[in-house]
């Protein structure tokens, strides 16, 4: 089922919600102010009037300083004040702002004071006898809230506040509060949006890195952040990225090794099959020859050539024995399990000792052998096996001699090893054969190889011995002949 849950941008979602909250708050606040601001202002004004009346009760009305105190109250609270003592005699009004009743002179004021004459619209008395009234002037529409309080045995103070002024003040206060509230809400929105940006920007960076990780690209890491939680998240993602990268690298390496092992196993399997086929082919010929001549002797065929038959059987048996020995050598060296008996030896002596064993060979009778090896060259390795490498090269050179019939044996210092070369004059190796001569049973000259007792294993044995020593070997066609080489490690005292 398709997932229909919508994915929202955090910052956009917050902006929409915040604007909606601001609009709702301002709307609700406006409605509340419209409905209740006048009542709130009225309650506040009544409390203010009560406090002012309590302050007036503490004044000494006979003291002239009370005038300034009353004036301060009027100015501070925007009241009109009238004081009666006794209750029907006005001794102070805000319109005169002059001395209150003077008991010493028995007069009220330098000017005649008259009380405000208004009609009472509503009245409510308090439990202490004080009262609130709503009054209106007779010849005007102005209305007042009046608070009357008894501050002595027979003294009454009345405080007037204009309802219209109070409403104007309430409206002004309402507008100011609304503007302040809007400002505060917008400021909160801006501050929160800024803080949210500080949060979302790092999240975007972390998301970018995580997306690359999802594509197995671990080249980019998360930067550090000032916020503790985000910094911890960044560090943990970097740790995860590093471990995944390491694990992936190791996995790729193991996969490459596995592929290499599979290719090697396939190659080895192919080589084994080819090897078995070649061994079978090489053994089949001498066995067939031996069988044929043996049957001839059994049935009396060619009795006059009995000795010749026996010689052929012996010769073929020797060839088969040589083949088996060479196969065993190849198997031994190619197994990689042979333990090398490394020792130091003179390269020059190794060459000369072998040449002494083939000095009387019929192949070497008319061959000119030239040795160019520094007597000080001291190699290190399995001397017996390396002598076998040289013997294969030299035998191969004798078998392919032509033209001037020269064999040049030389050695060159290559810093960490010596490179020993065996050059023979003769025909070059064809390009189609030069890459295959190191394979077992491969013979470039297929016509005469078997007759000469060569089976195509000599160079493959060379390759196996050199690989056991971790040293290079190779061949190259040169002007007038062919040059084989093999490397021998230097002896370090």
Highest-confidence segment of 80-89, 295-304, 369-378, 452-461 = 369-378
3-state secondary structure the chain: CCCCCCCCCHHHHHHHHHHHHHHHHHHHHHHHHHHHHHHHHHHHHHHHHHHHHHHHHCCCCCCCHHHHHHHHHHHHHCCEEEEECCCCCEEEECCCCCCCCECCCCECCCCCCCCCCEEEEEEEECCCCCEEEEEEECCCCCEEEEEEEECCCCCEEEEEEEHHHHHHHHHHHHHHHHHHHHHHHHHHHHHHHHHHHHHHHHHHHHHHHHHHHHCCCCCCCCCCCCCHHHHHHHHHHHHHHHHHHHHHHHHHHHHHHHHHHHHHHHHHHHHHHHHHHHHHHHHHHHHHHHHHHHHHHHCCCCHHHHHHHHHHHHHHHHHHHHHHHHHHHHHHHHCCCCCCCEEEEEHHHHHHHHHHHCCCCCCCCCCEEEEECCCCCEEEEEHHHHHHHHHHHHHHHHHCCCCCCEEEEEEEECCCEEEEEEEEECCCCCHHHHCCCCCCCCCCCCCCCCCCCCCCCHHHHHHHHHHHCCCCEEEEEECCEEEEEEEEEECCC
How large is the average pLDDT for residues 410-429? Answer: 95
| pLDDT band of 456, cuts 50, 70, 90 | low
For the cut 90, the answer to whether the pLDDT of residue 283 exceeds it is no
Which pLDDT belongs to residue 274? 62
More confident position, 339 or 475: 475
Q: 211-244: per-residue pLDDT in tens?
A: 888 888 888 888 887 778 878 888 888 888 888 8
Higher pLDDT, 90 or 299: 90
What's the pLDDT band for 77 if we cut at 50, 70, 90?
Answer: confident
Highest mean pLDDT range out of 15-19, 250-254, 473-477?
Answer: 473-477
Per-residue pLDDT tens digits for 301-357: 766 677 777 877 787 787 677 667 666 766 666 666 678 889 999 999 999 988 887
Residue 445 has pLDDT above 70, yes or no: no
Bigger pLDDT: 181 vs 45: 45
- Give me the chain's average pLDDT, please: 80
For residue 111, is pLDDT > 50? no
* Mean local confidence (pLDDT), 139-149: 87
* Higher local confidence (pLDDT), 150 or 26: 150
pLDDT at 62: 76
pLDDT category, 426, cuts 50, 70, 90?
very high
Question: Average of pLDDT values for 121-150?
Answer: 88
User: In this predicted model, which residue has the larger pLDDT, 362 or 78?
Assistant: 78
Q: Per-residue confidence at 38, pLDDT binned at 50, 70, 90?
A: confident
Percent of the chain past pLDDT 70, that is, above it, reads 80
> Which tens digits make up the pLDDT trace of 357-394?
777 665 566 889 999 999 999 999 999 889 888 988 99
Residue, of 32 and 445, whose pLDDT is higher: 32
Taking 70 as the threshold, does the pLDDT of residue 436 lie above it? yes
**Interval 167-194 mean pLDDT:** 80
| Reported confidence tier of residue 201, pLDDT bands at 50, 70, 90 | confident
């Amino acid at each position: 089922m398709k997932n229909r849950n919508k994915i929202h941008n955090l910052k956009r979602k917050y902006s929409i919600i915040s604007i909606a909250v601001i609009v709702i708050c301002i709307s609700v606040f406006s409605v509340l102010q419209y409905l209740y601001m006048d009542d709130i202002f009225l309650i506040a004004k009544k409390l203010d009037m009560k406090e002012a009346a309590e302050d007036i009760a503490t004044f000494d009305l006979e003291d002239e300083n009370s005038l300034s105190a009353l004036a301060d109250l009027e100015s501070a609270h925007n009241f009109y004040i009238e004081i009666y003592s006794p209750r029907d005699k006005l001794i102070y009004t805000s319109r005169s702002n002059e001395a209150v009743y003077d008991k010493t002179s028995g007069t009220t004021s330098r000017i005649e004071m008259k009380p405000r004459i208004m009609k009472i619209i509503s009245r409510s008395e308090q439990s202490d006898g004080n009262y609130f009234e709503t009054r209106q002037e007779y010849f005007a529409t102005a209305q007042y809230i009046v608070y009357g309080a008894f501050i002595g045995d027979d003294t009454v103070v009345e405080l007037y506040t204009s309802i219209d002024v109070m409403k104007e003040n309430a409206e002004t206060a309402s507008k100011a509060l609304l503007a302040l509230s809007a400002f505060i809400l917008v400021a909160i929105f801006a501050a929160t949006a800024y803080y949210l940006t500080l949060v979302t920007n790092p999240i975007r960076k972390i998301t970018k890195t995580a997306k690359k990780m999802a594509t197995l690209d671990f080249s980019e890491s998360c930067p550090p952040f000032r916020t503790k939680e985000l910094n911890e998240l960044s560090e943990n993602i970097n740790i995860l990225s590093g471990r995944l990268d390491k694990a992936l690298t190791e996995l790729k390496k193991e996969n490459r090794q596995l592929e290499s092992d599979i290719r090697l196993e396939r190659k080895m399997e192919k080589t084994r099959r080819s090897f078995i086929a070649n061994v079978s082919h090489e053994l089949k010929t001498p066995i067939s020859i031996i069988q044929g001549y043996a049957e001839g002797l059994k049935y009396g065929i060619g009795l006059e050539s009995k000795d010749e038959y026996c010689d052929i059987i012996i010769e073929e048996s020797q060839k088969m024995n040589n083949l088996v020995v060479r196969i065993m050598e190849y198997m031994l060296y190619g197994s990689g399990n042979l333990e090398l008996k490394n020792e130091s030896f003179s390269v020059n002596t190794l060459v000369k000792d072998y040449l002494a064993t083939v000095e009387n060979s019929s192949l070497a009778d008319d061959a000119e052998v030239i040795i160019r090896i520094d007597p000080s060259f001291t190699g290190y390795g399995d001397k017996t096996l390396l002598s076998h490498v040289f013997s294969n090269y030299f035998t191969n050179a004798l078998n392919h001699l032509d033209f001037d019939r020269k064999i040049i044996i030389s050695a060159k210092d290559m810093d960490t090893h010596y490179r020993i070369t065996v050059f023979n004059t003769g025909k070059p190796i064809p390009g189609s054969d030069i890459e295959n001569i190191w394979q077992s049973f491969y013979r470039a000259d297929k016509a005469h190889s078997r007759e000469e007792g060569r089976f195509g294993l000599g160079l493959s044995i060379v390759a196996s011995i050199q690989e056991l020593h971790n040293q290079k070997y190779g061949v190259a066609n040169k002007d007038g002949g062919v040059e084989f080489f093999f490397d021998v490690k230097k002896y370090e005292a």
